Amino acid sequence: MIITFYGVRGSTAVPGPQTARYGGNTSCVHIELESGHDLILDAGTGIRLLGRKLAHKSTPVNILLSHGHWDHIQGYPFFAPIYQVDRDINVYISVDSGRKLLSSLFEQMDGTHFPVRAEDLPSNNIPKFKGVESELYEREGIKVIKRGLNHPGGGVAYKINENGVTCAYVTDNELDPPYTPATTYDQWVDYLHGVDVLIHDAQYTEADMPHKHGWGHTLISQVRRLATDAEVGTLVMFHHDPDRSDSELDEIQIENEKYLKSHRAPTRSLCAAEGMRIELTKPVLGGETRISIGP
Ligand SMILES: [Zn+2]
Ligand SMILES: [Zn+2]
């Protein structure tokens, strides 16, 4: 499993000198599975560059959306494979997030907000409604399990397992919301226990609270506690606040390392950056999953 980050920012794209190293594009992560399948987590502005790469292939594209907020769908009209004749684009949407999510993806291409209309695309944009149960997708050794996010309007987290290697994508999630959560903290610990890579919303610091309590994003201090409690292999902090500069993210990274060391956690922490690539492999004869991280 190879995980590559194309967009790591939350809320809105923020290009500029303050965000040049970690990147300013909004949410998009590409997962290349050993079986050759391409999964795309969210279609924020980062999906544009990924589309240029995937346009050289002809295999189906499988998109899993967390929810329909702009920063997770806005890159879709700029995703090159949707303009390829007969290219299969499977958009997986869980039944409980439903038609509203699908319309947010396609109605932005209505001829007014974008010149090309969704119905005029030459590709096969195939919405797949799945998942009254917790399982979204299962075939050829791949299993995707979903979970409800604590976020205004709802949303879905995904845990992708291929032959014993796991990556969880939990963005736009508030671990301690001021309302009854879709998923409690203890349920998150259970769902995420032992995953190799956890990509989690890490938008806020203590300075953002209390006035952003209930906005659907998590305190970085709570995310590192969750990663420790769930004994995840690698925590990737994701969905950075648009106001968070590169140097502030460097400081957060140092704080996280100190926390994990002082708690003797088996977890490594990283700040997601555009272009970051994580390769996960399970030794044929069993044992720990191997991880290599590169630019
Ligand atoms: Zn978002
Ligand atoms: Zn959101």
pLDDT at res. 91: 84
- Determine contact, residues 223/237, Cβ cutoff 8 Å: yes
pLDDT over threshold 60, residue 182: yes
Residue 273's Cβ-count burial label (10 Å; 0-12, 13-18, 19+) is middle
pLDDT at res. 133: 41
Q: Find the ligand nearest to 174 CA.
A: 2
Kindly give the distance from the C-alpha atom of residue 284 to the centroid of ligand 1, in angstroms, as a whole number: 37
The residues, ordered by sequence, that sit 6+ positions from 245 with a Cβ below 8 Å of its Cβ are 18, 19
Kindly give the distance from the C-alpha atom of residue 170 to the centroid of ligand 1, in angstroms, as a whole number: 11
pLDDT at res. 107: 85
The residues whose Cβ lies within 5 A of ligand 2, an ion, are: 69, 172
Q: Which band of pLDDT confidence, cut at 50, 70 and 90, is reported for residue 187? A: very high
Least confident of 69-83, 89-103, 174-188, 267-281: 89-103
Kindly give the distance from the C-alpha atom of residue 68 to the centroid of ligand 1, in angstroms, as a whole number: 9
Higher pLDDT, 134 or 176: 176
Higher pLDDT, 41 or 282: 41
Kindly give the distance from the C-alpha atom of residue 144 to the centroid of ligand 2, in angstroms, as a whole number: 21
pTM: 0.94
Angle (CA) 238-92-88 rounded to 5° is: 110
Kindly give the distance from the C-alpha atom of residue 286 to the centroid of ligand 1, in angstroms, as a whole number: 37
Share of the chain above pLDDT 70, in %: 91
